[in-house]
């Protein structure tokens, strides 16, 4: 994308970005801020202290500020959050609550900063009760794709069609305009039970989509054409409401790795492997397996005969009080089958807890990716042209798996991921890894993924679909036209 330097002198007011607490949300919003800053906008990121432990953010924020002078940070005063009613989704309930309680502090900051616009994510819809009263337009940043956006826009309609929870519907298909039908078991995890206290929070957040001035989506039209066209045409919006302007500006992926120095071992090992020969297994920042499932993966990799790079994390704790604690480093000797590391030495590398995923996927030695289907991971895989095996775990990932397999043709799922009792067996891991890395079907999947990569790069080039959309959005903020100009 071009830098928009000529427009710099016209940018008078800052753009304020408001991510919900947690490093994942912060990183995504900062990447959006970098794109805006490169086009001459002054960007302020409002930071809220989470009511749970997510690790220290100060070193990361200091690094971002040093490398990006146009991006500044403003930390709102800490608020005291009372205990919440949903133990099952405690972190999400706490997030909605801390954002709601921060509204007075947000109002004070916005009144002084007088920004051109405020951009929020899904947990920050409470800002709609503050910013418009100050004359500040609010935009929504959808960190997931257009398929998930279609679902959220349509959720109030689905809610009104039945009194049954998604969980009770079992394998019954859910129909949403613009996306493939999916089993109710594959709905977004916190929405499975409509009587859980977190459900109405998300239902309100979904209904609030139509209150935004515009919706910025981390996707590109040619990746999800049917979903984008359906959303833009208003066919997902509840009757009587209007769909805001939609801006597809993706794929937006990390411009550099956080803690990249820790990833040197991975990249040096990959340098010694043949091109396209390694399958990479990584399951997101909070994806963790039981000891039993970890050993099944190990046995499957062992039996597959394929080269692999596998990020292993400690199993989840049985103590709810430790849900928000940083997990300890895994004890590989205790977790993995006896002799596994010795038997696979040379063709496999196991790393503890973390790997520089973007850089690993971009490495020419990597030929396949076993992923939890988080949207950032999907886009990084597409940008690298690496085909995927889908193993969804939480949040909206089961829906993403349906889109990837049924709509985009960019992934094949492992069988058993939705079986809480038996999980994914070693034989399935071995068979699917071999299929991905060494079969005609795997090669066809690679060809489709490479085609999507070319479309992604085309979308981002100067004059491409995403670049042109972004340019139009930034221009509208600088000149403050009376009418919004999205993808209409």
Note the pLDDT tens digit of each residue in 123-137. 999 999 999 999 999
Percent of the chain with pLDDT over 90: 81
Please write the tens of the pLDDT for every residue from 321-343: 565 567 889 999 999 999 999 99
Residue 84 scores a pLDDT above 60? yes
Identify the burial level of 333 via C-beta atoms within 10 angstroms of its C-beta, where 0-12 means exposed, 13-18 middle and 19 or more buried: exposed
Give the confidence band of 59 by pLDDT, cuts at 50, 70, 90.
confident
Query: Residue 256 — pLDDT band, cuts 50, 70, 90?
Result: confident
pLDDT value, residue 154: 98
pLDDT of residue 258: 61
Q: For position 117, what pLDDT does the model report?
A: 98
Dihedral of the CA atoms 45, 47, 53, 54 (nearest 10)?
Answer: 0
**Residue listed under structure tokens 């959309």:** 469
**Rounded to the nearest 5 degrees, what angle is found at the Cα of 189, between the Cα atoms of 188 and 193?**
100
CA distances from 136 to 26, 90, 321, 382 (A): 22, 31, 40, 35
Average the pLDDT over 30-59 and give the result: 87
Span 353-390, pLDDT tens digits: 999 999 999 999 999 999 999 999 999 999 999 999 99
Residue 406 DSSP code: I
Residue-level pLDDT at 284 = 87
The CATH number of 5-255+461-479 is 3.40.50.2000
**Per-residue pLDDT averaged across 40-66, rounded?**
85
Is residue 44 classed as helix, strand or coil in its secondary structure?
Answer: strand
Q: Residue 191 above 70 pLDDT?
A: yes
For residues 454-464, average pLDDT: 98
Can you give the residue ranges of every domain in the chain? 5-255+461-479, 260-456
**Average model confidence (pLDDT) for the chain?**
92
**Predicted pLDDT of residue 89:** 84
Residue 7 predicted with pLDDT over 80: no
pLDDT at 56 (0 to 100): 66
- Residue whose tokens read 């499932």: 293
What CATH number was assigned to the domain covering residues 260-456? 3.40.50.2000
What's the pLDDT score for residue 332?
96
Q: Residue 446: is its pLDDT beyond 70?
A: yes
Check: CB of residue 456 under 8 Å from CB of residue 220.
Answer: yes
Q: Does residue 488 have a pLDDT over 70?
A: no
Name which of 79-83, 168-172, 311-315 the model is least confident about: 79-83
Confidence of residue 87 (pLDDT cuts 50, 70, 90): low
- pTM for this entry: 0.93
In this predicted structure, which of 61-75, 225-239, 268-282, 460-474 has the lowest mean pLDDT?
Answer: 61-75
Nearest-CA neighbor of 222 among 460, 481, 470? 460
Report DSSP state, residue 345: B
Instruction: Tell me which DSSP letter residue 46 carries.
Output: E
Q: Which residue is listed with tokens 């071995």?
A: 430
Identical fold at 5-255+461-479 and 260-456? yes
Residue 261 has pLDDT above 70, yes or no: no
* 8 Å CB contact between 389 and 414: yes
Identify the CA nearest to 425 among candidates 317, 297, 309.
297
């Amino acid at each position: 994308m071009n830098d928009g330097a000529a427009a710099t002198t016209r940018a008078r007011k800052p753009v304020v970005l408001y991510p919900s607490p947690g490093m994942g949300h912060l990183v995504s919003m900062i990447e959006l801020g970098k794109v805006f800053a490169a086009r001459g906008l002054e960007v302020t990121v409002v930071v809220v202290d989470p009511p749970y432990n997510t690790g220290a953010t100060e070193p990361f924020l200091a690094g971002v500020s040093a490398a990006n002078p146009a991006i500044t940070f403003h930390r709102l005063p800490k608020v005291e959050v009372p205990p919440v009613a949903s133990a099952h989704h405690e972190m999400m309930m706490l997030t909605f609550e801390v954002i709601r309680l921060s509204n007075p502090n947000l109002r004070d900051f916005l009144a002084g900063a007088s920004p051109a616009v405020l951009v929020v994510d899904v947990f920050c819809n409470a800002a709609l009760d503050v910013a418009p009263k100050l004359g500040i337009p609010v935009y929504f940043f959808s960190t997931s794709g257009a398929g998930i956006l279609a679902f959220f826009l349509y959720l109030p309609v689905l809610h009104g069609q039945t009194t049954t929870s998604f969980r009770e519907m079992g394998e019954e298909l859910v129909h949403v305009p613009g996306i493939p039908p999916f089993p109710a078991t594959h709905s977004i995890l916190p929405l499975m039970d409509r009587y859980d206290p977190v459900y109405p929070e998300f239902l309100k957040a979904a209904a609030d989509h139509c209150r935004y001035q515009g919706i910025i989506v981390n996707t590109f039209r040619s990746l999800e054409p049917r979903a984008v066209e359906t959303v833009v045409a208003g066919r997902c919006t509840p009757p009587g409401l209007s769909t805001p302007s939609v801006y597809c500006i993706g794929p937006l992926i990390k411009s550099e790795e956080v803690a990249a120095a820790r990833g040197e071992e991975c990249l040096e090992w990959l340098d010694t492997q043949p091109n396209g020969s390694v399958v990479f297994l990584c399951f997101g920042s909070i994806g963790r397996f039981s000891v039993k499932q970890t050993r099944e993966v190990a046995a499957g990799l062992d039996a597959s005969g394929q080269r692999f790079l596998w990020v292993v994390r400690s199993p989840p704790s049985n103590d709810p009080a430790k849900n928000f604690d940083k997990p300890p480093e895994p004890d590989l000797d205790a977790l993995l089958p006896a002799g596994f590391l010795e038997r696979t030495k040379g063709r496999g590398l196991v790393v503890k807890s973390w790997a520089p995923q973007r850089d690993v996927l971009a490495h020419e030695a990597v030929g396949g990716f076993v992923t939890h289907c988080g949207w950032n991971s999907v886009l990084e895989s597409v940008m690298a042209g690496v085909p995927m095996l889908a193993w969804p775990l939480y949040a909206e990932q089961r829906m993403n798996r349906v889109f990837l397999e049924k709509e985009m043709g960019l992934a094949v799922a492992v069988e058993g991921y939705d079986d809480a009792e038996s999980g994914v067996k070693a034989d399935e891991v071995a068979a699917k890894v071999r299929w991905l890395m060494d079969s005609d079907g795997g090669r066809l999947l690679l060809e489709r993924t490479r085609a999507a990569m070319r479309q992604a790069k085309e979308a981002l080039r100067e004059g491409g679909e995403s670049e042109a959309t972004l340019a139009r959005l930034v221009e509208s903020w600088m000149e403050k036209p009376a009418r919004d100009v999205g993808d209409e």
